[in-house]
A = this chain, B = another copy of it.
Amino acid sequence: MQIGILGTGNVGETIGTALVRKGHRVKMGARNALNDIAASWVGMNGENASQGTFADAAEFGDLIFLCLNGEKAKDALMMAGPDTFAGKVVIDVTNPLDFSRGMPPVLVPSLSNTTSLGEQIQDYLPKAKVVKALNTVTAKLMVDATQVGGGDTALMICGNDAGAKEEVKKFLSEQFGWRDYLDLGDITASRNLEAYVPLWVRIWQATGTPMFNLKIVR
């Protein structure tokens, strides 16, 4: 499959590397087509790895991962051009975290409580099918659900398009070993998935490890 990844941070690199290893062709997109970090990543990942602009990555991907800095996500999507995403399934892994007040972070106030980055991204990309997923676990766990509890934890997702959510679940199950999903409804549930992340940081601080996930016990 051809995968576009927007963003060159740890999350984008981790997902990109995992998917290249699974035999997919992955293009990492950045503001600059010659971005150094992307070039280094391409150098380490062989012929199935490539780089380009945000627009190049979005155009390349049959499936697109948004691994952008939350505060810069809108700019990146505007640079890529919203029409580039038309008809595509977009997995939104972003979180609008504000670290300017120290740890643990708060949400960017303008993207909290009554709205969310996930909702705004769906608004920026009206022709795309945005599915919020993976933003609630650490990068290493995103790409291998079996790392905690033998894979017996739930991944929270949401999005407006039921078919796109099924595609995402199938893909994440096959590629990354996720077995259990907690589908929280339409894209407005992004506000709840994103609001969980400052709590997630607190739990990391309390437990001493980011390698955990939630199990809903009934």
Binding site for B on A (CB under 8 A): 101, 104, 106-107, 109, 112-114, 148-149, 152-153, 182-185, 189, 191-193, 195-196, 198-199, 202-203, 205-207, 209, 211-218
Whether B217 lies near A152 (C-beta < 8 A) is yes
- Nearest CB in chain B: distance from A50 CB, A: 36
User: In the complex, A214 Cα to B152 Cα: how many Å?
Assistant: 13
Find chain B residues with CB under 8 A from A148 CB: 217-218
Known contacts A185-B205, A196-B196; A218/B211 CB under 8 A: yes
Known contacts A184-B206, A213-B217, A215-B215; A113/B114 CB under 8 A: no
Among B185, B202, B207, B216, contact of A189 (Cβ-Cβ < 8 Å): B202
- Nearest CB in chain B: distance from A1 CB, A: 29
Find chain B residues with CB under 8 A from A153 CB: 217
Known contacts A114-B106, A198-B191, A202-B189; A207/B214 CB under 8 A: no
User: In the complex, A206 Cα to B156 Cα: how many Å?
Assistant: 11
User: In the complex, A149 Cα to B217 Cα: how many Å?
Assistant: 6
- Nearest CB in chain B: distance from A112 CB, A: 5
Whether A203 lies near B184 (C-beta < 8 A) is yes
User: In the complex, A198 Cα to B183 Cα: how many Å?
Assistant: 15
User: In the complex, A54 Cα to B127 Cα: how many Å?
Assistant: 55
User: In the complex, A167 Cα to B217 Cα: how many Å?
Assistant: 26
Find chain B residues with CB under 8 A from A209 CB: 218
User: In the complex, A76 Cα to B142 Cα: how many Å?
Assistant: 45
Whether A192 lies near B198 (C-beta < 8 A) is yes
